[in-house]
């Protein structure tokens, strides 16, 4: 059964064990106003707490992912005002979502839209997808992680090209550079992302959470600390029922049934 949560700028549908969150401001190409980010934060916090949901797809729908932060909202702000309202600091919780978050990107994912996609764990791109950071054309730089997440994924030189020219990458080039997982015909983007979400949702949830955390730590920590942290999580998982179930199911040649305990 599909359960919808009520929001103004996004649509949230829970079809357990997955949920799909769709940005819904088509007139401004899903521009990410503070209200949209507030709703996204709220929805993801609820989905994180909802035990029946094990993976989430984030999309902008069939035509556009998001053309960036809302320029109309920012154009006349001052620096102190931006600092005080901490515009993009309020986006940070999106990257703290503990369950797998899969971006399904069709059309433009620009500026903050691209940065939100980069906060996700996997990116499925339609062949119409365009990923870029055009902030330079507005006299600013990316403010929601673009200058940091691009180089950690594609290296310095491509990141510089993206930041300094403001030109967007095609889906195919993004795929060749390893910044998207798959490129598919646009009509397949959301179904494939949902299929992958369901595939992940069948796995033991505590191990999935630890795997996500461990990979993200590779972007934050020196190797020795990352390895030590990985080992602790590995040992920790032997305290879960799902580890016992997973290993005994293997030995008994049957499919494991995981409870997230
Ligand atoms: N903010 C507010 N409104 C936006 C928007 C944005 N980021 N992007 C598009 N829109 C609005 C347009 O103003 C237009 O509104 P009207 O119909 O009322 O004129 C509507 O969406 C449709 O856009 P276009 O007519 O421009 O559509 P297009 O197909 O000709 O061009 C586009 C598409 C190339 C994406 C173009 O809209 C564009 O360049 N958008 C801005 C992209 C951008 O600069 N993003 C970065 C924003 S800054 C940022 O994100 C900072 C950060 O790091 C957090």
Q: What is the mean pLDDT of residues 45-50?
A: 97
**Ligand 1 atom 3, closest CA:** 28
**Ligand 1 atom 20, closest CA:** 28
Instruction: Give the Å distance between the CA of 24 and the centre of ligand 1.
Output: 15
Of 201, 189, 195, 192, nearest in space to 55 by CA: 201
Q: What's the first-to-final CA gap in the chain, in angstroms?
A: 24
Give the pair of three-digit tokens for residue 122: 């996997």
**Ligand 1 mutation pick, 23, 71, 148, max ligand atoms within 8 A of CB:** 71
**Ligand 1 atom 8, closest CA:** 67
**Ligand 1 atom 16, closest CA:** 28
For 242, phi then psi, to 5°, come to: -65, -30
Inform me whether the pLDDT recorded for 6 exceeds 90.
no
**Does the annotation count 135 as an active-site position?**
yes
Give the Å distances, CA to CA, from 254 to 88, 241, 248, 250: 47, 16, 9, 6
Inform me whether the pLDDT recorded for 253 exceeds 90.
yes
Percent of the chain with pLDDT strictly greater than 90:
98
* Average confidence score pLDDT of the chain: 97
E strand or H helix at 47, and its extent?
helix 34-49
- pLDDT, residue 3, reads 85
Of 136, 130, 125, 87, nearest in space to 103 by CA: 125
**Does the annotation count 159 as an active-site position?**
no
Instruction: Give the Å distance between the CA of 128 and the centre of ligand 1.
Output: 17
Inform me whether the pLDDT recorded for 40 exceeds 80.
yes
Q: In the chain, where do the E strands start and end? A: 3-5, 10-15, 18-23, 55-59, 101-105, 108-110, 122-126, 130-132, 169-170, 182-184
**Ligand 1 mutation pick, 9, 32, 67, 143, max ligand atoms within 8 A of CB:** 67
pLDDT digits (tens, 9 = 90+) for 144-180: 999 999 999 999 999 999 999 999 999 999 999 999 9
Instruction: Give the Å distance between the CA of 191 and the centre of ligand 1.
Output: 26
- pTM of the model as a whole: 0.97
């Amino acid at each position: 059964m599909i359960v919808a949560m009520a929001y103004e700028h996004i649509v949230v549908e829970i079809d357990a064990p997955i949920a799909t969150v769709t940005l819904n401001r088509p007139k401004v190409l899903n521009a990410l106003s503070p209200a949209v980010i507030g709703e996204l934060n709220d929805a993801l916090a609820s989905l994180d707490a909802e035990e029946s949901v094990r993976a989430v797809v984030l999309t902008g729908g069939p035509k556009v992912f998001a053309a960036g932060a809302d320029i109309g909202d920012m154009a006349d702000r001052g620096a102190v005002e931006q600092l005080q309202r901490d515009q993009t600091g309020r986006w940070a919780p999106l990257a703290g979502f503990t369950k797998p978050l899969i971006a399904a990107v069709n059309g433009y994912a620009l500026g903050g839209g691209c940065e939100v996609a980069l906060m996700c764990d996997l990116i499925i791109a339609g062949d119409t997808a365009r990923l870029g950071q055009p902030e330079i054309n507005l006299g600013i730089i990316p403010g929601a992680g673009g200058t940091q997440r691009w180089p950690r994924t594609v290296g310095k030189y491509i990141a510089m090209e993206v930041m300094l020219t403001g030109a967007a990458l095609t889906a195919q080039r993004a795929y060749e550079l390893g910044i998207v997982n798959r490129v598919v015909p646009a009509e397949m983007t959301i179904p494939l992302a949902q299929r992958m979400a369901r595939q992940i949702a069948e796995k033991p949830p505590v191990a999935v959470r630890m795997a996500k955390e461990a990979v993200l730590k590779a972007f934050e920590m020196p190797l020795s600390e990352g390895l030590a942290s990985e080992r602790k999580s590995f040992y920790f998982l032997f305290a879960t029922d799902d580890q016992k179930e997973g290993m005994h199911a293997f030995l008994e040649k049957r499919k494991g049934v995981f409870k997230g305990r």
